[in-house]
Structure 1
Amino acid sequence: MQQTLLSVEKLGKSYKNKQIVKDISFSVKRGMVTAILGPNGAGKSTTIRSMMGIMQPDEGSVKYQDYPKHGVPHEKVGYLPEERGLYKNVKIMDVILYFADLKDYPKKKAKSRALDYLKKFGLEGKDKVSVEELSKGMAQKAQFIASIIHEPELLILDEPFSGLDPVSQDVFKQEIRQLADNGTAILISSHQMNLIEEIADDLLLIHKGKTVIKGSMEEVKEQYSNYKCTIIGENEASLFTSLPSVQNVERDGSKTVLYLDKDVHIPTWISHIPKESSIQEMTIDRISLHEIFVGIATEKNLMKSGGGVNHA
């Protein structure tokens, strides 16, 4: 059982009489990646800012292990905000060392770690380059390094993959997973389901400021990830609606998606596909986090009862 480092209980925040976050509760454990997921405007960043003390929540509590105050002890936390911001006319190494000094981290050790990370992130030899000379992706890597330079117990990342190319996204994913494996408690806010699905251990999906799904990745997949069959070919949706175990059929041009019952036996089910079907390609897999996300964000029920997307 992993040790709980951070506990958030019944967090609530309103602006001008509009509730932005309501009754949000979750925990972050050592050595695990917890993801807060949801569409833009769901309340993800408000939740994180309330935790960090950047804004004062109206309700609820944030408890960091034995820390006697509400919120988190900043010297033990690394934070990558959604709004990136480094001193543009300052050299990268100086910026990183400045952040290390703010956390009372030894300068010599910070410099050695910084050089190692610059090399790992493809920024070797850029330590004396000013931030304004970097591309957006490179600057984001530098800010990520600054957030972890002091070996934080808890790392909070708000939309860390935004603006990164696929290669850089892979580098970030690998590093985040490695940090967790080494004992860091990690909290990620994101709307990029495909990336989170690969690295998260626990999930909190919020919509309109409220929790709609919460649990481990394994539990969420078991509960929500029914099978779906995707067929490429010129077919009418009505050709498949009466098939056994088909809950819903969606057609988009030559692509038809059939959402299936949770307990469907795939080998048997395939034999029921009409022989007159036009099938250029066919895949059968699980519904992804992205599809669950879209179903809730658009308030569209992808599945019926017994494993459907249900609002908590």
Structure 2
Amino acid sequence: MPILNISHISKSYGSYKAVDDVSFTVERGSVYGVLGPNGAGKTSTIRMIMNILLPDEGNITLFDTAMNDTLKNRIGYLPEERGLYPKMKVLDMLVFLGELHLMPREEASQKALEWLRRLGLEEQKDKKVEELSKGMQQKVQIIGSLLHDPELIILDEPFSGLDPVNTNLIKDIILELKVSGKAIMLSTHMMETAEKLCDRVMMINHGRVVLQGALQPILMDHGKSSIQVEYSGDASFVSGLPMVETADIYGNYLEVRLKEGSSRNDFIGHLLNNIEVHSFKTMQSSLNEIFITLAGEKPNE
């Protein structure tokens, strides 16, 4: 049974429909990606889940119960807008967040220290939040969303402000939480990251669902494979071949998409007869490319 069940929710601000008939479920032991550009409706959807906003239409259930404030203690929520008190010391800030989720003070302090060590922030525990870098503050906020050992974890743009090393660290933690049986909802416009983390995804644009389902079938069913070739010679003839849909040449590299139903072997034969091929590989479309095809715009626009 899903931990979180969203059924046909909609939300308007005046005449603007921010979320339009959105439905999905989040299961234990999985990462569900809510993907789309800024302003697509992702954050409004999360705010309805958290009972910050009420949907105009539709229903939200958590643990098979209508969402209420008591259930919030079973959720870890990293909001898009950061909510740390700049004058508080880091450890005090985390203990305070733990107590808000009904953790005993001693337990909150112990868990906070464990997480600070894990994220390389133990030496910062007595510093004020405002003295930390943006990336460090982001890690503190992430710790605050995990401290009380929630069953459902909702992360809204968790990689914002993180360098590549810390991005990989948080990715590893997300995957560990998944293996431990947590249900994780990841909202992001970073398609490449979602592709590495998510089991299921929903692409949303202008408040409407563009595509949703299990990740691998989406990549197989909606993606187009391309052929990448490293070569020597003149490859200008390739764009005129009857089986070629698109052909792009970058120096001595060629990227080609074949028309539906075309023979790859015939294409390879043309290459071998006309140029010297050094390497040849087939690449599957990424989530980013699929989104651009379906929505007609880049996800970070």
Check whether the contact 1:38–1:297 (CA below 8 A) recurs between aligned residues.
Answer: no
Check whether the contact 2:271–2:277 (CA below 8 A) recurs between aligned residues.
Answer: no
Displacement of 1:295 in angstroms is 2.3
- Give the whole-Å Cα distance in 2 for the aligned partners of 1:262 and 1:217: 22
Provide the residue aligned with 1:207 in structure 2. 205
Displacement of 1:267 in angstroms is 5.9
Displacement of 1:110 in angstroms is 2.1
Q: Deviations over 1:190-248 (max 9, x none)?
A: 0101111111011001111111111111221221233112346797766235253x333
Percent of matched pairs sharing the same residue:
36
Check whether the contact 2:37–2:205 (CA below 8 A) recurs between aligned residues.
Answer: yes
Provide the residue aligned with 1:19 in structure 2. 17
Q: Secondary structure at the match of 2:196?
A: helix
Displacement of 1:109 in angstroms is 2.3
Are the structure 2 counterparts of residues 110 and 262 from structure 1 closer, same or farther at C-alpha, using a change threshold of 3 Å? farther
Provide the residue aligned with 1:242 in structure 2. 241
Q: Secondary structure at the match of 1:13?
A: strand
- Give the whole-Å Cα distance in 1 for the aligned partners of 2:120 and 2:263: 47
More divergent stretch after superposition (223-232 vs 147-156): 223-232
Provide the residue aligned with 1:296 in structure 2. 294
After TM superposition, list the pairs within 5 Å mapping 1:76-225 onto structure 2: 76-225=74-223
Displacement of 1:70 in angstroms is 6.1
Displacement of 1:249 in angstroms is 3.5
Amino acid at match of 1:47: T
Provide the residue aligned with 1:74 in structure 2. 72
Displacement of 1:96 in angstroms is 0.7
Q: Secondary structure at the match of 2:124?
A: coil
- Give the whole-Å Cα distance in 1 for the aligned partners of 2:70 and 2:36: 23
Q: Deviations over 1:156-184 (max 9, x none)?
A: 00011122111111001000110111011
Provide the residue aligned with 1:58 in structure 2. 56
- Give the whole-Å Cα distance in 1 for the aligned partners of 2:38 and 2:182: 27
Are the structure 2 counterparts of residues 271 and 115 from structure 1 closer, same or farther at C-alpha, using a change threshold of 3 Å? farther
Check whether the contact 2:235–2:275 (CA below 8 A) recurs between aligned residues.
Answer: no
- Length, aligned pairs only: 297
- Give the whole-Å Cα distance in 1 for the aligned partners of 2:62 and 2:155: 17
Check whether the contact 1:247–1:260 (CA below 8 A) recurs between aligned residues.
Answer: yes
- Give the whole-Å Cα distance in 1 for the aligned partners of 2:229 and 2:260: 19
- Give the whole-Å Cα distance in 2 for the aligned partners of 1:100 and 1:164: 23
Q: Secondary structure at the match of 1:4?
A: coil
Provide the residue aligned with 1:308 in structure 2. none
More divergent stretch after superposition (156-165 vs 59-68): 59-68
Are the structure 2 counterparts of residues 202 and 38 from structure 1 closer, same or farther at C-alpha, using a change threshold of 3 Å? same
Displacement of 1:127 in angstroms is 1.1
Check whether the contact 1:7–1:63 (CA below 8 A) recurs between aligned residues.
Answer: yes
- Give the whole-Å Cα distance in 2 for the aligned partners of 1:152 and 1:41: 28
More helix by share: 2
Are the structure 2 counterparts of residues 278 and 192 from structure 1 closer, same or farther at C-alpha, using a change threshold of 3 Å? farther
Unpaired segments ≥5 residues, structure 1: 301-312
Amino acid at match of 1:210: R
Displacement of 1:281 in angstroms is 6.7
Are the structure 2 counterparts of residues 69 and 131 from structure 1 closer, same or farther at C-alpha, using a change threshold of 3 Å? closer
Q: Secondary structure at the match of 1:118?
A: helix
Check whether the contact 2:238–2:247 (CA below 8 A) recurs between aligned residues.
Answer: no
Q: Secondary structure at the match of 2:122?
A: coil
Amino acid at match of 1:194: E
Check whether the contact 1:235–1:254 (CA below 8 A) recurs between aligned residues.
Answer: no
Check whether the contact 2:51–2:67 (CA below 8 A) recurs between aligned residues.
Answer: no
Q: Deviations over 1:77-113 (max 9, x none)?
A: 1110111121001011111111110111232222222
Aligned-pair Cα RMSD in Å: 2.6
Q: Deviations over 1:4-63 (max 9, x none)?
A: 100001110111212111110000011100000011221111111111111121111111
